[in-house]
């Protein structure tokens, strides 16, 4: 079976994208039905400002991970990128899931639940800070960061030798 890994990735990406689009469509439809049919106080301004970037992220992930096939014979041309990759893709999924939770909370609790979305920029700031401090401490050993001299870690054997007075003990 040629390209088994590529076919597996294509199938996984396709099923993940279908599930994502169905959940997203259901949540957005629920919000709009609650807004227009039942005249519940839901602010469309918050919805547009906070949900449209998520829709853009969703369509970007679709474009990134959608497998492409040859039209002539139906063979797999490209499986798409791995949608479970770490880094920026993972962060985009986090934003998507959190916004879905916020839309669900707004449907249940009202417009005040949009304040839950403030976690996204706070999380971004925390990630940037932790990345910067991690990079700074990583460069400290090369003389590029921190400005402090790090003492080399001693092994357990060296600590035992110092405890005995620096001499080897024979049995």
Any domain includes 70: yes
**42 located within any domain:** yes
**Domain total in the chain:** 1
Question: Which SS3 state, helix, strand or coil, does residue 69 take?
Answer: strand
Structural domain range at position 25: 4-114
pLDDT band at 171 (very low <50, low <70, confident <90, very high): low
23 lies in a domain? yes
Is position 84 within any domain?
yes
For residue 78, is it within any domain?
yes
* Whether residue 62 has pLDDT greater than 80: yes
Chain centroid to Cα 77, Å, comes to 27
Q: What is the dihedral of CA 93, 95, 97, 98, to 10 degrees?
A: 160
Which one, of 51, 9, 59, lies nearest residue 32 by Cα? 51
Q: What percent of the chain has pLDDT over 90?
A: 35
pLDDT, position 162: 79
pLDDT band at 66 (very low <50, low <70, confident <90, very high): very high
Q: What is the percent of the chain with per-residue pLDDT over 70, rounded to a whole number?
A: 85
Does residue 51 form part of some domain?
Answer: yes
Query: Rounded to two decimals, what is the model's pTM?
Result: 0.70
């Amino acid at each position: 079976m040629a390209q088994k890994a590529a076919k597996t990735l294509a199938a996984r990406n396709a099923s993940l994208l279908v599930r994502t689009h169905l959940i997203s469509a259901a949540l957005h439809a629920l919000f709009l039905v609650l807004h227009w049919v039942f005249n519940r106080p839901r602010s469309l301004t918050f919805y547009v400002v906070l949900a449209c970037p998520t829709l853009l992220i969703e369509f970007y992930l679709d474009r990134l991970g959608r497998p492409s096939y040859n039209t002539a014979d139906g063979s797999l041309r490209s499986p798409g990128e791995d949608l479970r990759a770490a880094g920026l893709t993972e962060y985009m999924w986090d934003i998507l899931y959190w916004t879905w939770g916020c839309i669900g909370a707004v449907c249940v609790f009202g417009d005040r639940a949009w304040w839950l979305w403030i976690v996204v920029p706070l999380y971004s700031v925390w990630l940037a800070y932790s990345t910067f401090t991690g990079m700074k401490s990583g460069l400290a050993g090369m003389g590029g960061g921190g400005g402090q001299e790090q003492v080399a870690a001693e092994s357990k054997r060296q600590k035992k030798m110092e405890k005995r007075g620096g001499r080897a003990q024979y049995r």
